[in-house]
Amino acid sequence: MVRRARHLDPSAELDLRKLRYFLAVAHHLNFSRAAEELLVAQPALSRAVRALEADLGVTLFQRDHHKVTLTPPGTALVREADMLLSRAAAARRTVQAAGRTPRTLTIGFRPGIIITDVVQQFTKACPGAAVNAIRIEWDEQEAAVADGRVDIAWIRTPIAHGDLLITPLFDDPEVVALPAAHPLTAYDSVSLADLANQPMLRYDAAPEHEIGRPSGKRGIRTMEEKLEAVALGHGLALVPETAAAYYQRPDIAYRPVPGASPYQVALATTSDTAKRPEAQIFISTAVAVNARNAAQRGGAAR
């Protein structure tokens, strides 16, 4: 299909509703399923996409009776639309947060990282502020901060920093999770060479941390799912030491892995959030609590 070029107003604004509709179709490559997800009638969805194409002066999808595919402009718009919608959501949350009284901090944390002590100390230091804590997974820890779902998050590396402000806290060594009856449980520690020929599980689509590699089984996203796969004998898994301490179960054993690169636990926030007085107090409280705990651990080891 050839679309005639027409004069475009460079000041014309993109309609966020049309962008959301476009992304749903781009995800499913099927107008019917996209309409079901959006809870709109398919004709209305089709009209919105055609209107967006008219606004931009390009064809976003190639359509026939058998399939829907993205055109090169459509592929480019997927990337841009994701960023625009994320920024719009972040702006909404920032404005709403500014209007809340008392001021509220939404804190994200990864599984196995205990944040209670820091939150309690913060509420003593900043009694006028409230704290909401929500769990975040490995594949959303950066986006959750960047788009404003959380104000500050405990994260584990690796993470693409982007424009986030990162405050390192402590190293989190890797240990290997083994089925309780696995032969390697006979050893006090397990070397990287011992793991070289073992089936290793990792999260779907996660970047390699060290020697973890895909299991070929889909659907592993959470720590609980990973440990269940270990217990069922699907493979072994490298996990952070903090998570191993938190997730104790009789059918799984953990062993240190000397030579494995540790994760780093850190706080992540945006430059805008970092300007808020209560956020500054929270971060300084977390750093102080971490330093105190490290000193106590060092004293206990002597």
- Pick the residue with more confidence: 262 or 103? 262
pLDDT at residue 301 in the model: 53
Sheet holding 165-172, edge to edge: 130-135, 104-109, 152-156, 263-269, 165-172
The yes-or-no verdict on residue 107 having pLDDT over 90 is yes
- Pick the residue with more confidence: 91 or 152? 152
pLDDT at residue 12 in the model: 52
- Pick the residue with more confidence: 86 or 273? 273
The yes-or-no verdict on residue 206 having pLDDT over 60 is no
Query: Reduced to 3 states, what is the DSSP secondary structure of residue 42?
Result: helix
Task: Give the pLDDT band of residue 211 (cuts 50, 70, 90).
Answer: very low
**pLDDT, mean of residues 135-140:** 86
Query: Reduced to 3 states, what is the DSSP secondary structure of residue 38?
Result: helix
**pLDDT, mean of residues 95-99:** 64
**Residue-wise pLDDT tens digits, 19-45:** 999 999 998 899 988 888 888 888 889
Of the ranges 27-31, 41-45, 197-201, 249-253, the best mean pLDDT one: 249-253
What is the distance in angstroms between the CA of the first residue and the CA of the last residue of the chain?
A: 76
Tokens of 75: 């592929």
The yes-or-no verdict on residue 274 having pLDDT over 80 is yes
The yes-or-no verdict on residue 10 having pLDDT over 60 is no
pLDDT at residue 100 in the model: 57
- Pick the residue with more confidence: 8 or 158? 158
d(CA 278, CA 214): 41
**pLDDT, mean of residues 93-104:** 65
pLDDT at residue 73 in the model: 92
The yes-or-no verdict on residue 177 having pLDDT over 70 is yes
DSSP 230: H
CA 241 centroid distance within chain: 20
d(CA 263, CA 241): 9
pLDDT at residue 163 in the model: 81
Number of other CB atoms surrounding residue 209 within 10 Å? 18
pLDDT at residue 99 in the model: 61
Tokens of 42: 């398919």
pLDDT at residue 242 in the model: 93
Q: Rounded to two decimals, what is the model's pTM?
A: 0.62
- Average pLDDT taken over every residue of the chain: 84
User: Between the CA of residue 166 and those of 96, 155, 159, 163, 283, what are the distances in Å?
Assistant: 24, 9, 10, 9, 10
Lowest-confidence segment of 43-47, 96-100, 155-159 by average pLDDT: 96-100
Task: Give the pLDDT band of residue 79 (cuts 50, 70, 90).
Answer: confident
- Pick the residue with more confidence: 91 or 301? 91
- Asked whether the beta carbons of 38 and 20 are under 8 A apart, the reply is yes
Q: Where are the alpha helices (DSSP H) in 29-126?
A: 31-38, 42-56, 72-98, 116-125
The yes-or-no verdict on residue 77 having pLDDT over 50 is yes
